[in-house]
């Protein structure tokens, strides 16, 4: 589908123009407030952590939100949370529901790219031939949900790289509050890590799971990377795999467009026992330090708590001398 550079955004509260390649015109969904309806979908892997999932639902409900879980939340098709057409239809139903103000993803895993093969966030008006996005709303998740978040950003809408329903209850109180602060329109505190030096840069923030983002390179879901701050994390990937992915970013030219790199946690990424290897830290330093751009590592987001929420596409500032990532308000 061809997406025009200017898209009319319409919901119950506002109408505005969004230029998809211009971060100054990023559409931020209306702030949530208690009483709003949120829908829980499972667009990725099959749900296994039932108790943790329910604890996540309870946190949202305890804040006064109406949370509706799809009846098929425990569906399975191999390692997926149901067949592609079913997961796609659940996401579409939530997205097109004018009463729904946000979409909460049950868990990550794998599967979102499969439903994106035949997906559009856009709706064609047959009478006017305009391409519209109806009722833009918050999309919340991380890990495999990176693909949905980046594809949503590609049409000019901000989502949140944040804990999914199965991980939310394991977050510290400040991390949980940070998620609610973002979706409720409040300011959030800067994140502190370890600066590698190289000065300060500002740009659109693109948080992502490194593995998922790598597999989006060269696809229609890859957003514009020029001048972006890439925020990466991963889990369960041996150092040589991290090396292979970052080398792909380098050879494709994608990494050369990035203005700065924010590094979160790389969980369970230790090298196999008794096999010669670099550490993940050594790989990251080797593949990123010669780019001559600001880099900050050890930031508190990723697959291990804390997983600090990060808005997708908003302008952020990365200070690699002080080791600070700030989302600009």
Query: In the 8-state DSSP scheme, what is residue 24?
Result: G
Q: Known catalytic residue: 233?
A: yes
Q: Are 166 and 53 in contact (CB under 8 A)?
A: yes
> Choosing from 44, 90, 135, 143, which is the catalytic residue?
143
Instruction: For 237-271, give the DSSP string.
Output: --HHHHHHHHHHHHHHTSGGG-SEEEEEEEET-PP
CB 10 within 8 A of CB 134: yes
Tokens coding 200: 């300060």
Torsion of CA 289, 290, 294, 298, to 10 degrees: -10
- Active-site option among 151, 233, 265, 297: 233
174: left (phi over 0), alpha (psi -120 to 50) or beta: alpha
Nearest to 166 by CA among 14, 327, 303, 21: 303
> Smallest Cα–Cα separation from 245: which of 280, 221, 266, 214?
214
Instruction: Compute the distance between CA of residue 82 and CA of residue 45 in angstroms, rounded to an integer.
Output: 8
CB 70 within 8 A of CB 43: no
Question: 3-state DSSP call for residue 324?
Answer: strand
- Catalytic annotation on 62? no
Catalytic one among 90, 161, 237, 303? 303
Does the annotation mark 143 as catalytic?
A: yes
Ramachandran bin of 313, using left for φ above 0, alpha for ψ from -120 to 50, beta for the remaining angles: left
| 328 contact partners, CB below 8 Å, separation of at least 6 | 202, 314, 315, 316, 317
Residues marked active site are found at 143, 233, 303
């Amino acid at each position: 589908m061809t997406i025009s550079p200017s898209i009319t955004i319409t919901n119950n509260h506002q109408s505005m123009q969004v230029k998809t390649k211009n971060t100054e015109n990023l559409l931020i969904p209306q702030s949530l407030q208690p009483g709003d309806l949120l829908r829980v979908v499972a667009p990725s892997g099959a749900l296994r952590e039932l108790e943790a999932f329910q604890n996540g639902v309870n946190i949202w409900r305890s804040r006064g939100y109406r949370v509706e879980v799809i009846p098929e939340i425990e569906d399975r098709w191999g390692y997926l949370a149901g067949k592609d057409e079913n997961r796609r239809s659940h996401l579409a139903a939530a997205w097109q529901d004018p009463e729904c103000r946000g979409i909460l993803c049950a868990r990550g895993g794998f599967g979102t790219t499969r439903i994106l093969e035949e997906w559009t966030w856009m709706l064609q008006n047959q009478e006017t031939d305009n391409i519209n996005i109806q009722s833009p709303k918050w999309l919340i998740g991380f890990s495999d949900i990176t693909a949905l978040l980046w594809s949503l950003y590609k049409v000019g809408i901000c989502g949140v790289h944040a804990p999914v329903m199965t991980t939310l209850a394991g977050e510290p109180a400040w991390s949980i509050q940070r998620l609610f602060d973002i979706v409720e329109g409040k300011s959030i505190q800067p994140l502190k890590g370890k600066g590698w030096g190289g000065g300060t840069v500002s740009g659109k923030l693109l948080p992502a799971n490194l593995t998922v983002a790598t597999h989006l390179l060269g696809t229609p879901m890859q957003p514009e990377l020029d001048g972006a701050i890439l925020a990466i994390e991963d889990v369960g990937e041996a150092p040589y795999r991290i090396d292979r992915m970052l080398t792909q970013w380098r050879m494709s030219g994608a990494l050369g467009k990035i203005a700065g790199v924010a590094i979160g946690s790389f969980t369970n990424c230790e090298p196999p026992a008794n096999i010669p290897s670099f550490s993940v830290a050594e790989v990251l330093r080797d593949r990123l330090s010669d780019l001559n751009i600001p880099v900050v590592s050890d930031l508190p987001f990723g697959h291990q708590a804390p997983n600090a929420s990060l808005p997708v596409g908003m302008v952020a500032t990365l200070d690699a001398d002080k080791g600070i990532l700030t989302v600009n308000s």
